[in-house]
Amino acid sequence: MDIGKEKRLSIALQISNFRTALKGFEKLVEHVAAQKRDERAGLFIQKEDVIDYDKFYTAVQELFGPEVKNQDVKCFYRKLCNNPDASTDWCEIFGYLSSEEDSPASHMDEENLVFLVSRKQRIVISGSRRRDVIKCIVKIPQLDLLITASQKGLITVFNSQMRVQASTNVMDTSWITGCDYLSQLKRIVATTERTIIVWDYKAQGSGQENYFVIKPMDHCLLCVCVVSLPDQLCRDDILLGDDGGFVNKFTVNSDDFGLKQAKSKKKLQSQVLDSKNFKSVKRKLHNDWVMKIRYITPLSCFGSCSLDSVHSLVLESLKRLEDNLPVREFSMPRGANTFCYCTKANVIVTGDSDETGIILYS
């Protein structure tokens, strides 16, 4: 038998074995999904028949071998438990999502037997001594910087080599809910549940610990974004979403955070400013929490989404925040907890808690 024929037979055998494994995996998923439906219905299941995560992971390894990673299988199992009726793809257990046009055979040639190669680097942030999670990550392309804000108040600025350029700890009893970059004032804005934080990350030495706190707020702040308009000088507009369904716009000027004031109080870790002294407008656009808010520059409008099934997504100009005229809105059965705009395709994609989405052509 020549080498070429032997190679083709080997590939054919691999494909046949993989298809057999896929059928076994489909039966395993159907069994677990049926079990989770019975549990939700309150039906009794014998303890020895319950397929917990350990049993599921062992079965998947027996089907596909050591290529599967614990973290990928765990994500797949969690998804299956949360929604047994959700669509699943075998590629998910390898940490890879294929399109519907991709066939299993296309992944089985000799040069493509690895489903996922991940390149990652662990970044250790000095000074972070508490168990914490990253709440927000913002990329600043024009400065080649990355901003992260943790839930417990650690704001960090990284350069393109992921080296820490500046960091500060926001001493607030409330959790951080979001952050963004003030392009005109050259500062970083972050929100806690009850305050707006403005931080001069370029300050040297102990000055990095100085930041401004704007409060009080009428409602719990859940998300924030900055409006980037090229014609604005020394002024930034901040959009805020809260738990009352309101979209708020705060205007901050360079005079609000003057150098004289900062120098005279440089020993203070934070300086409190009254929110009533800032120009602001707000309008109730949703009947539930505002989950995400973004200003979409190519469309010259902002977008805000909510779990509200009637007023799920709003796309409108900033002027509509100052009046009571009708706004352009979309309703979705389960609301929307996130959305994203694609410039090239000129579409807006939404997502809800059931991992389903809607594409809106603008």
Q: Give the pLDDT of residue 51.
A: 85
- String of DSSP letters for 35-87: HHHHHHTT----GGG---HHHHHHHHHHHHGGGS-HHHHHHHHHHHHH-TTS-
The residues spanned by each domain of the chain are 3-94, 134-258+268-329
Within 8 A by CB and 6+ apart from 165, the residues are 145, 157, 158, 159, 201
User: Quick count: other Cβ atoms within 10 Å of Cβ 114?
Assistant: 10
- What CATH fold (topology level) applies to the domain 134-258+268-329? Methylamine Dehydrogenase; Chain H (2.130.10)
Nearest to 316 by CA among 304, 328, 298: 328
The whole-model pTM stands at 0.64
Q: Give all strands of the β-sheet with 347-351 in edge-to-edge order.
A: 338-342, 347-351, 357-361
Q: Give the pLDDT of residue 319.
A: 93
Q: Could you give the maximum distance between any two Cα atoms of the chain, in Å?
A: 88
Q: Judge whether 91 and 115 are in contact, CB under 8 Å.
A: yes
Query: Tens digit of pLDDT per residue, the chain (362 long)?
Result: 566 667 667 777 777 787 888 888 888 888 888 888 887 777 777 777 788 888 888 888 888 887 788 878 888 888 888 888 877 777 787 766 544 444 444 444 444 444 444 455 667 666 555 678 888 999 998 899 999 999 888 999 999 888 899 989 888 778 899 999 999 999 999 999 899 999 989 886 655 667 899 998 989 999 999 998 877 778 899 999 999 999 999 999 888 776 444 444 444 567 889 999 999 999 999 999 999 999 999 999 999 999 998 999 999 999 999 999 999 999 988 889 899 998 888 888 888 766 556 666 55
If DSSP states are collapsed to H, E and C, what string results for 175-201?
Answer: CEEEEEEECCCCEEEEEECCCEEEECC
Nearest to 253 by CA among 273, 269, 268: 273
